Chain A
Amino acid sequence: MKEPVIGIDLGTSYSCVATVIDGVPTVIPNEWGERIHASVVSFLDNDRIIVGNEAKKRIISNPENTVYSAKRLIGRYFFSEEVKKARAMCSYQIVEGPNSSVRILINGRQYSIPEISAFILKEMKTIAENFLGTKVKKAVITVPAFFNDNQRHATKDAGKIAGLDVIRVINEPTAAALAYGFGKGISQKVAVYDLGGGTFDISILDIGNDIFEVISTAGDTYLGGDDMDLKILEHFISLIKAQYGFDPTQDKQVLQRLRDHAEKAKIGFSMQDRVDVYIKNLFMGADSKPRDFHTVITSEQFRDMVTPILQKTFKVCDEALQTGRLTIGDIQGVILVGGPTRLPIVRDYVRYYFQKEPLYGINPDEVVAIGAAIQANSLLDEKKKSTFLLDVTPLTLRIATVGGFTEAIIPRNSPLPIERRRKFTTSRDNQDRVRIRVLQGESNKADECELLGEFEFSGFKIAPRGAVTIEVSFDIDSDGIVNVSARDVETGAEQSTTIYLNAGLSAEEVAISQDLAEEVIIERDRSNLPEIKD
């Protein structure tokens, strides 16, 4: 049997793992038949964790020890806006680690974000191994199209920590398009509308034969199905307050159960016009007798709740079209991704906005993982009969120049792999080192771009100004991961490089984390789990 290879959609809210069996892309369920798994890690103690849907049940009941939406933090600096926002919203403790990195503090121990993501990836690996009955090593992992180098790198590190050999990192919208078989025929522009649990992304791809170019991408990292759940939850709370004079927000357990039922009610609208909610023994009344909660949500009520959320997504779509200098008429296909797009109301709005019937033949929760599995399979297919995917750089690679400006080195949408070289000379006598700040983004102003890192090259020979020329090479590999190196033009000697600022982990740190990931036990026996306490 040939070596198994899996595709993993490592999502903000949910993750999914798939593989190709006898030529058929297949989502791998866990022992309980679940096909998607909450991207949540809950710590029982420092050596024992729960991952997935069981962990999700503890977000409210065990808030300090349950990490969710770690993807919002991956590959970011502690001082970034996104991390500030997360610190204000999250119930777990986000602290600053070495080199301005982000750490999560649980039971007095700090975890890096790749470590947290690695726990989720390890669970995906285990699910695949249990199903296939064999060890799994190789994987393709998907990332959002707008992910910069630091975020891609950190995702790859997470894979390594989980004991995976990440053969490729591909863009989520590209994976979705691969799952639908795009890339084999004529060139066309396709919009991928990805409404997830916590985030919304719209990407417009120009798909030619084999080549997937991301023309534009826009998103909102705090917009998704969770907002719909919250709307329903608010509705429940106000009903209970009015009916019983009881405030459910005072009781974490009650709140958690209401939240779970709010999500269930939302999912219910995928198939029904009205949803009946019945929760037995929700709380104790003043007379110490248990009270049940019962209500019905009509499709009109639901529509009113979710319309403002959907309107926000289309504002983001407007933005993506504008940056791509496109109009609705240029879009030849629309792909739906993410659980909430199963809701008929979402499809109605998308159809209305794009003036086109969206594609939803493949389960929108699974389509990205399926595309990743297809790509993983074709990468390992020695006969190379299947899809060949040519990816491009998502963002322009730049260096900082004087006065807060930048200069483009490799323009966005350059095919990969690619290398560009620049020559620099010394500006003063006996200068023995140079520092180069590398950024990614579409603005010529440094503060409007994302800082990738700062590199220092040293060990130049002692010489008058202008006499030393070094050639700096900027290299982006097939995964979109950047390498910077320099050599002395005259001697050809490689210059020693120090990375001054880098959100990523060093090779040693990855090795230490690998040990940690091996030691920590992911509790998988559900009958054995400790009860949820407050």
Chain B
Amino acid sequence: MSSITPEEIIILSEAIDEMDYYQILKVDRTASASEIKEAYYRETRIFHPDNFIHLTDKELKNRVLKISKLITEAYMILRDFEKRKRYDQQLSMSETGRDIRYREDEVKQEIKEDINSPQAKKLYNQALVDIMQNRLHDAIKNLKLALAFEPNSQVIKRKIEELQSQKN
């Protein structure tokens, strides 16, 4: 087991932000699946947080954690044939080298929320609690009240329909 000095941890934890997954695992872009697996085991054996359980410095511990998580991330992407293919394309397109982390989706997910009125929100939340506690009747009552404050909410309407079909 090679021992890592605190200085090396600090340097790597800074530099790793600029490293792509191949550089993190210290493998060639042409590395085979088994080479990637081997590299992952080698690197994770060095940087797994369990090896630093004695560290008392919280900041240093967090740096180790950061490195360790990126090693896992690199492995998760490169071991998956489809993801690796997409990632390679992504790398070849980014000239500046900024796009070195796998992009999950091209489109960002919209935050789903169509209830604006605070009263409606409160009632809707109460209804969710009711549902979880199996008080369907109360849930529907609260949802209908919520709809009075927020007549255009699709979320509330759908929920009511869902519950009514469950009740029947």
Contacts and interface: CB of A to CB of B under 8 A. Distances in A.
A160 B41 CA distance: 32
B113 interface: yes
Contact of A427 (B1, B44, B65, B114): B114
Nearest to A425: B108
B75 A415 contact: yes
Contacts of B54: 380, 382
A45 to B, nearest CB: 32
Interface string A369-407: 000000000011011110011100000000001111000
Interface string B26-64: 000000000000001100110011110110000000000
B88 interface: no
Contacts of A497: none
B65 A417 contact: yes
Nearest to B1: A384
Interface on chain B toward A: helix, strand, loop, or mixed SS? helix
B133 A403 contact: no
Contact of B72 (A79, A168, A418, A431): A418
Contacts of B65: 417, 477
Nearest to B45: A388
Contact of A414 (B72, B113, B134): B72
Nearest to B54: A382
A315 interface: no
A388 B48 contact: yes
Interface string B1-45: 100000000000000000000000000000000000000110011
Given A390-B48, A417-B49, A418-B76, A435 B69 contact: no
Contacts of B109: 422-425
Interface residues of A, number: 49
A186 B150 CA distance: 62
Contacts, number: 95
A431 B112 contact: no
Contacts of A211: 41
B68 interface: yes
A424 B104 CA distance: 12
Given A100-B132, A210-B41, A417-B68, A425 B104 contact: no
A68 interface: no
B167 interface: no
A382 B1 CA distance: 11
A100 B65 CA distance: 33
Contacts of A435: 113
A146 interface: no
Interface of A: 77-79, 100, 167-168, 209-211, 379-380, 382-385, 388-390, 401-404, 414-420, 422-428, 431, 433-435, 451, 466, 469-470, 475, 477-478, 500-501
12 contacts: A79-B132, A389-B50, A402-B155, A415-B76, A417-B69, A417-B72, A418-B73, A420-B104, A427-B110, A427-B111, A475-B69, A478-B49
